[in-house]
Homo-oligomer: A and B are copies of this chain.
Amino acid sequence: MKISLPPPQRLMASDNASGVHPDILAAINRANNFHALGYGHDEQTPQAKKLFSQLFDADVVTEFVFGGTGANVLALACMLKPAQAVVCTATAHIAVDEAGAPERFLGAKLIDIPTRDGKLRPSDIESVVHLRGNIHHAEPAVVSITQATELGTVYTPDEVRQICDFAHEHGLLVHMDGARITNAAVALGATPKVLRSFTIDAGVDVLSFGGVKAGLMFGEAVVFFNTSLATRVEYIRKQVAQLNSKMRFVSAQYVEFLQNDLLFRLATNANSMALALYEQTRHHKSLGLTTPPVVNSLFPTIHEPAASTLREWTFFWDWDLPNNQYRWMTAWDTTLEDIATFAEGVAQALEI
């Protein structure tokens, strides 16, 4: 049996399946104006950097890269010395989903710690602090946390501050992988002040700032709050193959993204649509959707044959197959019509 209506035009597969926001695309088109010197010696790059300093209300150092793995590896390369290690969760993107890029480029160990919710805690860091100062061990030197996490949870500003305080007390630095940072910011209040409360104000040293999942075409940013770590960032960016020659086409996107609250507006839609999907499907008890999503993902349980029926209709990712768990994810461009269509498909699949 098959679902009797056309699938939604926008997938629940991933926010990186989304396209580019029209205003961002317009900015790209505008940037295509005669010649501009490469590598950031253009008009838009200084503008974009200035907007990041305004956003974080501080003289931060911002550099743009091509993608998220590049952002994380560049950030960590600036933070690590030889024979050091990164502490992260066992579900961290750097630990699981970057094909070993950190190990290969950094030559560093990742110490990954199991968590129940994708959130690291000071006690987790404490459990490995004894490895410092012993020449037989790679020295834990950087804590990397993901905000929002890979499991759709969000650290509160206090939680981040506690991690940063504990880390700094013990000589470790803190990196935040913010591939979905705007979703987290919206979950916590959707203002620059809120964004600052769990990043620069909480003590984070370096932030990978994600734009692509949020509505950009390509290009992420690495923001150094601890600017002493940025000494060699431009050299390392080139070395990690993340220096964009026609930089203006990335910077122009950020100039648009960081103005008029566009970054918050887009994430607000993504988060809201996940909530709408939750509201429209939670009555199917078998899905196990007992708590509303914090950001833009749901992790339903779907048994067969419903799962196959639904996935043949419209693709989404499995999450924990042995437990029949899947992931639905909304994006900046998901519409209520998409949600209604998808919810109807879910209903049909479960009835089959």
**Distance of A139 Cα from B238 Cα, bound (Å):** 12
Of A32, A100, A108, A130, which is in contact with the most chain B CB atoms at under 10 Å from its CB? A100
**Distance of A255 Cα from B239 Cα, bound (Å):** 29
Q: Is the CB of A9 within 8 A of B34?
A: yes
Within 8 Å by CB of A35, from B9, B82, B130, B138, lies B9
Of A11-19, A263-271, A303-311, A344-352, which binds chain B? A11-19
**Distance of A333 Cα from B36 Cα, bound (Å):** 13
Of A17, A81, A110, which is in contact with the most chain B CB atoms at under 10 Å from its CB? A17
Q: Is the CB of B100 within 8 A of A107?
A: yes
Within 8 Å by CB of A18, from B17, B35, B244, lies B35
Does A336 reach chain B (CB closer than 8 Å)?
Answer: no
**Distance of A14 Cα from B246 Cα, bound (Å):** 11
**Distance of A19 Cα from B234 Cα, bound (Å):** 23
**Distance of A25 Cα from B101 Cα, bound (Å):** 31
Does A10 reach chain B (CB closer than 8 Å)?
Answer: yes
**Distance of A242 Cα from B136 Cα, bound (Å):** 12
Residue pairs across A and B with Cβ atoms less than 8 A apart, 8 shown, are: A14-B37, A17-B35, A19-B34, A69-B243, A83-B236, A103-B107, A104-B107, A213-B245
A117-160 contacts to B, CB under 8 A, are: 130, 135-139
Contacts of A138 in B (CB 8 A): 99-100, 103, 235, 239
Q: Is the CB of A36 within 8 A of B20?
A: no
Does A212 reach chain B (CB closer than 8 Å)?
Answer: yes
A1-42 contacts to B, CB under 8 A, are: 9-11, 13-14, 16-20, 25, 28-29, 31-39
What's the nearest-Cβ distance from chain B to residue A113, in Å? 11
What's the nearest-Cβ distance from chain B to residue A19, in Å? 4
Q: Is the CB of A16 within 8 A of B34?
A: no
Q: Is the CB of B107 within 8 A of A110?
A: no
Contacts of A100 in B (CB 8 A): 83-85, 107-109, 138, 239
